[in-house]
Structure 1
Amino acid sequence: MVLAELGGSISRALQQMSNATVIDEKVLNECLNEITRALLQSDVQFKLVRDMQTNIKKIVNLDDLAAGHNKRKIIQQAIFNELCKMLDPGKPSFTPKKGKTSVVMFVGLQGSGKTTTCTKYAYYHQKKGWRPALVCADTFRAGAFDQLKQNATKAKIPFYGSYTESDPVKIAAEGVERFKEENYDLIIVDTSGRHKQEAALFEEMRQVSEATKPDLVIFVMDSSIGQAAFDQAQAFKQSVSVGAVIVTKMDGHAKGGGALSAVAATKSPVIFIGTGEHMDEFEVFDVKPFVSRLLGMGDLSAFMDKIHEVVPMDQQPELLQKLSEGHFTLRIMYEQFQNILKMGPISQVFSMLPGSSAELMPKGHEKESSAKIKRYMTMMDSMTNEELDSTNPKLMNESRMMRIARGSGRLVREVMDMLEEYKRLAKVWSKMKGLKIPKKGDMNALSRNMNAQHMSKVLPPQMLKQIGGMGGLQNLMKQMGSTKDMMGMFGGGD
């Protein structure tokens, strides 16, 4: 069961419970059994699931709850908290500091995406102002140094390795020493991939660790590994002091539960997740927003941060002004399509919006939706400035549509589809008139400047229903001021 399906199954179980006339022991057990089945199908270790179910039943004692208590919310909150606890060992990992040299060593199974993840980790910190450098101490896999060299060159990150030296311990020690002398503040050491049974490679890993004295050892885990995750993670933890986990290939095509079980095995926090093959498809992992997105509850703070990340600062005031005026042209649609494509995989972007996955991004149609956006942009490339900046639908007559179709190599029918999409978005945009969008991070301002009545007109009916109707929307908006407490996403009364 892929993570998207896992989230859908848990959401459905919670929704069925919410639809029940009376919340009793039978309804609670049915809900928990459905959630347990979904977690086991996603390869979460049996003991973890059993413990979670036991803990929820201890917290939610229906007989002890007074008549005035909101039973639904108490149950939902207990489920949310237990899922978070499963992913949170309760202790932070080592955090590198700018200007002070830190050595980070990467370990993991062969094929887990470790070498690519090293570069993504370096690239992420480079964008934040660090001076990272990469050391290839993987002499076991043919082509490992070539891969790291290619990735590092593309990302413009210094690297060290050798085609002639076969001793990984010597390469690691020399590389770390060189970059320390050159005052790099984040030195990343890539090691040979290995399996639990390979005693010689585990010994090599220990020796590399002793030679480089890393401040942090990161265990890289492929999300598709399944039930073997717990044992494999434990084997690494016994050999070196694993301080953090990065889960790769979390782009919806593999089971994720097994990899998430690795947190329990290593007792180390997940710090990043890889969501695709590209360099920037790499996210900081934060437990509560992640669980919230997993359950289809969204992560609006992350969505707003994504918008501020991809829209250039000098364009933001103008864009936000147009948004508040309800002024929408084909050129604005083109610019927003550009921004959506920059934000990463479309399904990932929509997962940040509460209840929107099914409404805006039908399962299995992510590539199709991306291709459609690109087609629309190609058609708009064949339009004149007058056409792009006009708000008059009558301007687009038949002869203009034929010219645009010829210029973009598309059918007239496809141009008509694109214009229908524009009309639909223009209608949504007009409902946003008067809405004030805050600066980055100021989610309280967003909460102050919106009201539930306003937003209920903008949201698709199915999305509004999934959030929990008007009551759920009001509760959601109260909670948007803080990412620390995502429980308002559950909403609903008893």
Structure 2
Amino acid sequence: MVLADLGKSINQAIGGLVSGQQDVDEQALDGMLNEVSKALLKHDVGLRHVAALKKNIKSSVNLENTPPSQRKNVIQKAVFDQLVALVSPTGEQTESAVFKPRKHKCGVIMLVGLQGAGKTTTCTKLAIYYQRRGFKTGLVCADTFRAGAFDQLKQNATKAKIPFYGSYVEPDPVVVASEGVNKFKKEGFEVIIVDTSGRHRQETELFDEMVQISAAVKPSQTLMVLDASIGQAAESQAKAFKEASDFGAIILTKMDGHAKGGGAISAVAATKTPVAFIGTGEHIYDLESFTPQQFVSRLLGIGDLQGFMERMQSLKLDQKDTIKNIQEGVFTLRDLRAQLQNIMKMGPLSSIASMIPGLSQFADQMGGEEPTNRLKVMIFAMDSMTNKELDSDGQILLREPSRMIRIAKGSGTSISEVQEVMTYHGTMANIVKQVGGRNGMLNQMQNAKGPQAELARRRMAQAQAQAGAGGAGMPGMPGMPDMGQMAKMLGGGGMPDMSQMAKMFGGGGMPSMSEMMNMVNNNPALSNMMKQFGGGN
């Protein structure tokens, strides 16, 4: 996860304050604030921003008039609110910063920024972002200054299967931009993204060119692409571009692995300009919309269930057959392959884990290439199976080991890797068998009331624990809990009931921090998940 070290440091500071003691005094609060300040300064957040955050937290926490049992929640809420304010232009949500295209309407987005900020790559990422949400998207290369710019955009667009326009012979970027936008407009494109030359704030000719392109294509929104690794210097660069080009929002790139990312976000917020997106890696899918409250939730390990659901919805995953099978108590190898493919579509495993409450502590362990490669190996193995094998419960492979030998040879994997697929499938199939079907726990929970409903939920947790007793961890995720550990993490109480989930995912958006804390404290499952954020009550 982006700035994971910062999140851990802040959590440790808060956890040291609220765990093991109910009566928090002013001295303990000051000590916690000093630790939080050190963590922010270490990650290049500006001194004046840190001083303001510390002062605001101190003034908003009135320990004298707060019952000891409530001091933990009050402090957590104050830290959360001030971190949100730190990365917000106005301390409010910035959903409006993200351009919202409309079906059958044409919108033009122009990207500007410094040389080397990753503008051309970001153009492709942004095009994919809108394409995955169902919009007809095209790319225009108006960067005629940098040699190879059009080739780079052409290569990226071809890989992502996105239509593009550019020219090897036309030297005037205004002409190229105008022709490309007009072409895509005639063809009914809904989102047209224009890439421009990188420029420095002192290059007046390039700034004039940027203004001319803007006048020619009349963008619906202009986005500035800014390298997050420059930290506090982002503020002066953003202000210079703001004076020359009235861009509406900023995309921060190279946020993965850079301690200066925290400084860049706070610096940009100081310009009163919202951050629309952050680039979180080199992969073409590594672009996330930025909302301060959701970003801070992930930073502190609370998770981002709303962002998780939005990502799921954007992928338009077809799981009708799998859901039908689970309801009937059946889980085939084809169902397993579909689920692993869906996980791959969602992006880096570390990013997925950081969005789910209780799993964010494993996000670092799922970083890098190894977990993703292990998932790929499992999918490769299943790609070499016959339809008969995929639609089976896997027993046919156990009865006829020669099939596993054939699958390993055909997929370029080892027999042990095929056996790993079978082990994990067996674990999942065992859970589904107990959960689905006429006598399964899903049906019992749906029909049960009162004590019977609670008994069904406990049986569900016990089934998970039994399924995980064999030690089968989550596939390709070293250090991830097995199903038994997951059941323990949930405390046997199951996930939040549907009214709580509806509250979280409903039209009202994310719950407030106080609502979230109340929901956590009143639900054993979420309460256990939140132990790493400040300990128990």
TM-score by length of 1: 0.81
Which residue identity is paired with 1:298? G
1:258-273 matches, within 5 Å, as: 258-273=263-278
1:163-201 deviation line (CA, Å, top 9, x unaligned): 344343454455555655666554433221123444443
Which residue identity is paired with 1:85? A
Query: Structure 1 residue 321 and structure 2 residue 345: aligned?
Result: no
Secondary structure at the counterpart of residue 107 of structure 1: strand
Alpha carbons of structure 1 residues 46 and 155: separation in structure 2 relative to 1, 3 Å? same
Which residue identity is paired with 1:485? P
CA contact (8 A) 2:458 2:492 kept: no
CA distance in 1, matches of 2:286, 2:78: 32
Match of 2:504 in 1: 480
CA contact (8 A) 2:140 2:195 kept: yes
Q: Which moved more, 1:303-312 or 1:240-249?
A: 303-312
CA distance in 2, matches of 1:378, 1:396: 22
Match of 1:108 in 2: 113
CA contact (8 A) 1:135 1:187 kept: yes
Query: Structure 1 residue 74 and structure 2 residue 79: aligned?
Result: no
CA distance in 1, matches of 2:181, 2:413: 55
Extract unaligned runs of 5+ from structure 1: 437-447
Alpha carbons of structure 1 residues 335 and 164: separation in structure 2 relative to 1, 3 Å? closer
1:286-365 matches, within 5 Å, as: 286-310=291-315, 312-313=317-318, 316-359=319-362, 361-363=363-365, 365=367
Q: Which moved more, 1:83-92 or 1:181-190?
A: 181-190
Secondary structure at the counterpart of residue 344 of structure 1: coil
Match of 2:145 in 1: 140
Match of 1:28 in 2: 29
CA distance in 2, matches of 1:80, 1:134: 39
Alpha carbons of structure 1 residues 369 and 279: separation in structure 2 relative to 1, 3 Å? closer
Alpha-carbon distance, 1:405 to partner: 4.6
CA contact (8 A) 2:139 2:193 kept: yes
Extract unaligned runs of 5+ from structure 2: 444-452, 466-480, 522-535
CA distance in 2, matches of 1:401, 1:454: 34
CA contact (8 A) 2:249 2:274 kept: yes
Alpha carbons of structure 1 residues 182 and 398: separation in structure 2 relative to 1, 3 Å? closer
Q: Which moved more, 1:481-490 or 1:330-339?
A: 481-490
Which residue identity is paired with 1:62? L
Alpha carbons of structure 1 residues 126 and 485: separation in structure 2 relative to 1, 3 Å? same
CA contact (8 A) 2:504 2:510 kept: no
Alpha carbons of structure 1 residues 180 and 426: separation in structure 2 relative to 1, 3 Å? closer
Alpha-carbon distance, 1:473 to partner: 6.4
Match of 1:52 in 2: 53
CA contact (8 A) 1:355 1:463 kept: no
CA distance in 2, matches of 1:400, 1:177: 56
Count of residue pairs brought into register by the alignment: 479
Match of 1:422 in 2: 425
Alpha carbons of structure 1 residues 479 and 99: separation in structure 2 relative to 1, 3 Å? closer
Match of 2:530 in 1: none
CA contact (8 A) 1:387 1:395 kept: no
Match of 2:193 in 1: 188
1:2-401 matches, within 5 Å, as: 3-21=3-21, 22-67=23-68, 70-89=70-89, 90=92, 92-93=96-97, 95-155=100-160, 157-173=162-178, 175-176=180-181, 184-252=189-257, 255-310=260-315, 312-313=317-318, 316-359=319-362, 361-363=363-365, 365-383=367-385, 385-386=388-389, 389-390=392-393, 395=398
Alpha carbons of structure 1 residues 270 and 178: separation in structure 2 relative to 1, 3 Å? same
Alpha carbons of structure 1 residues 467 and 16: separation in structure 2 relative to 1, 3 Å? farther
Alpha carbons of structure 1 residues 190 and 305: separation in structure 2 relative to 1, 3 Å? closer
Secondary structure at the counterpart of residue 355 of structure 2: coil
CA contact (8 A) 2:280 2:288 kept: yes
Q: Which moved more, 1:171-180 or 1:361-370?
A: 171-180
CA distance in 2, matches of 1:308, 1:274: 20
CA distance in 2, matches of 1:279, 1:270: 19
1:14-71 deviation line (CA, Å, top 9, x unaligned): 333331313222332333233222222222233222222211111112123245x611
Aligned-residue CA RMSD (Å): 3.9
1:203-240 deviation line (CA, Å, top 9, x unaligned): 43334334444332201123333232222222212221
CA distance in 2, matches of 1:466, 1:199: 58
CA contact (8 A) 2:458 2:494 kept: no
Q: Which moved more, 1:366-375 or 1:477-486?
A: 477-486
CA contact (8 A) 1:103 1:216 kept: yes
Secondary structure at the counterpart of residue 224 of structure 2: strand
Secondary structure at the counterpart of residue 293 of structure 1: helix
CA distance in 1, matches of 2:178, 2:77: 49
Which residue identity is paired with 1:64? N
CA distance in 1, matches of 2:112, 2:337: 43
Which residue identity is paired with 2:303? G
Q: Which moved more, 1:292-301 or 1:382-391?
A: 382-391
CA contact (8 A) 2:348 2:367 kept: no
1:400-458 deviation line (CA, Å, top 9, x unaligned): 6555555555444444444333344445556755448xxxxxxxxxxx99998578665
Alpha carbons of structure 1 residues 377 and 132: separation in structure 2 relative to 1, 3 Å? closer
CA distance in 1, matches of 2:347, 2:414: 28
CA contact (8 A) 2:2 2:256 kept: no
Alpha carbons of structure 1 residues 101 and 422: separation in structure 2 relative to 1, 3 Å? closer
Secondary structure at the counterpart of residue 221 of structure 1: strand
Alpha carbons of structure 1 residues 187 and 12: separation in structure 2 relative to 1, 3 Å? same
CA contact (8 A) 2:133 2:314 kept: no
Alpha-carbon distance, 1:13 to partner: 2.7
% same residue: 48
CA contact (8 A) 1:87 1:260 kept: yes
TM-score by length of 2: 0.75
